[in-house]
Structure 1
Amino acid sequence: MRPINGDDVIQAVAQCTAALRAAVGRDWKAVPAGGLEWDCHTTAVHIADDLVAYAANLAGRAQDAYVPFELTLDEGTDNAGLLHVIETTGALLAAAVRTAPPGARGFHPYPFRSADAEGFAAMGIVEAVLHTRDMAEGLGIPYEPSDELVTSLLACLFPHVQPGPAPWPTLLWATGRGDLPGRAPVTEWRWRNNLVIPAERLTLTGLRPAAALDLRLGGDGGFEWIASGPYEGTRDAAGMLLKAYEAGVHRPEFGMFALVRHEDGRAVGAMGFHGAPDEDGRVEIGYDLAEAARGNGYATEALRALSAWALARDDVHTLFATIDRDNTASQAVVTRAGWTKVGEDGEGTAYELRR
């Protein structure tokens, strides 16, 4: 798996339109699109409408709602013209993704009311490949995207879904379009863009599995890091995220966040959860900073923001952390953030923050 980019949008849309050209002479308004209630013509228009809407929301930095416009075809547009519209709107989305500055986000309702450039690119591709599949099923023509692309789409937008034996059947199952042995049918689904949590001088930016993989392998995870970063603890935490994803127990809102400094866009460290809350609403937090970023209050600021976000949820009642006894700097961080020392054991000093 790898991050999704603008080139992927262009290639995916080109493959979709190439497949559909095999049936360009058919009456798409008379053919149902697979298991959808729409016909193939309506489905194709929907693909184009999504592509341009995602481009607009990202380019326009929409905050609270979609940019208020709707795609309308000229009267008499035939299927070939409609495919041209899909290619054009795909190019617009690709351009918006390629030119978006780091950290740029636009409105999307699921699940945290915003998406970044990678998220919009992936959503546009998923709309295109799934609905091309729906149309291809109705029209009786072959279509299947590449395993590499679908693997990356699953990791980007479905990080809560355990990877299956093959990526395309897994995506179809995850979107209610097929069965997967050993898994219950999916009747409702939403994709999951990454979470960002604002702080005064930082943004806590949720890491996707592909970014975690890159960090674990020695890369930068798609971030520009301050000197001496990322710290080794960040790479270890990335490995924990990957294991959770592969096991199907990863919940992205309880994953790992890069701490990105507003003044220069550089990552100064990482913070996150060691997993989802248990049945008592108890969840563990860990963090580290690059050496060059220490002594500036970044960890305290980030911990306050993450703690406030977590304790505002119904499923979290207690945050805890275990800190090495000789790590007085980290103990000072949790103390300044309002946490309380609750005990000591062989592993270190335990701290808690309760709702």
Structure 2
Amino acid sequence: MSDLVTARLVLHPMTGNDAEDVLAGVPGEGARWAPGYPGHGDVNAARRYLDTVARTGDPQPFGNYEVRRQEDGQVVGGVGFHGPADEHGSVAIGYGLVPSARGRGYASEALRELVRFARECGATCVRGDADLDNVASQHVMEAAGMRHVGQDSRVRYFELAWTDAAAVTDAHS
């Protein structure tokens, strides 16, 4: 599986070795981790990835991706899918960045690319959620073209659904 590349980032598909390094908290040979990486969400994603590989094999293209800055190659977070598309073609996403990388538009840039890629891979809907008090994460999903579709006492829900190929172009223009 190839890297996904944006203007400033490289989304590198997580491998088993990458996930094991994250769980051990030690970068592998040649890896460059920004201070604060991996975070709690990255560890959970790595564990979920390894569990999926053990049960059903590599989940790519609907796996996890390290978010690397092109300028210095440092891993500043992660973005990915919580599993393959369901029977309706819907995928759930998640993302997170180290504190020093926040507020620079990296999360929105990474999520826009992941949404684009999901559609390219046949997904019909991308879903995500954020705690009510996590306004920054809500803005990230909105910047990626996702719309607020509901909430409960704790979480706001977002999604972007396509009905045809033209919707993909419209969502990313």
One-letter code aligned to 2:60: P
1:275 aligned onto 2:98: no
* AA partner of residue 135 (structure 2): T
Gaps of at least 5 residues in structure 2 are 163-173
Gaps of 5+ in 1: 1-193
What displacement does 1:196 show? Answer: 1.1
Aligned to 2:139: 332
Please tell me whether the aligned partners of residues 276 and 283 of structure 1 are also in contact (alpha carbons under 8 angstroms): yes
Is contact 1:231-1:291 (8 Å) kept?
A: no
The CA deviation string for residues 140-189 of structure 1, in whole angstroms up to 9 with x for no partner, is xxxxxxxxxxxxxxxxxxxxxxxxxxxxxxxxxxxxxxxxxxxxxxxxxx
Cα deviations across residues 276-320 of structure 1 (Å, max 9, x unaligned)? 001100000000000110110000000111111111233x10000
Q: What residue is the counterpart of 2:51 in the other structure? A: 243
With normalisation by structure 2, the TM-score equals 0.88
Identity %: 37
Equivalent in 337, 341, 348 of residue 148 of structure 2:
341
Q: Which structure would you say has the larger RCO, counting Cα contacts within 8 Å and 6 or more residues apart?
A: 2
Within 1, Cα distance between the matches of 2:73 and 2:18? 17
Structure 1: which amino acid aligns with 2:52? A
> Which structure has the larger Rg?
1
What is the Cα-based RMSD across aligned positions, in Å?
Answer: 1.4
Shift of 1:195: 3.1
Tell whether the 8 Å contact from 1:275 to 1:283 is kept in structure 2 after alignment: yes
Following superposition, the deviation at residue 217 of structure 1 comes to 2.0
Runs (4+) of structure 1 moved beyond 3 Å?
none
CA distance in 1, matches of 2:142, 2:149: 12
TM superposition shift of 1:235 = 1.1
Give the counterpart letter for 1:324 in structure 2: D
Q: Which amino acid in 2 is paired with 1:257?
A: Y
Greater helix proportion: 1
* 1:39-70 alpha-carbon deviations (Å, 9 max, x no partner): xxxxxxxxxxxxxxxxxxxxxxxxxxxxxxxx
CA distance in 2, matches of 1:304, 1:259: 13
The answer as to 2:15 corresponding to 1:208 is: yes
Q: Which residue of 2 aligns with 1:220?
A: 27
SS of match in other structure, 1:253: coil
Contact 2:61/2:121, CA 8 A, preserved across alignment: no
Separation of aligned partners in 1, 2:154 and 2:125: 20
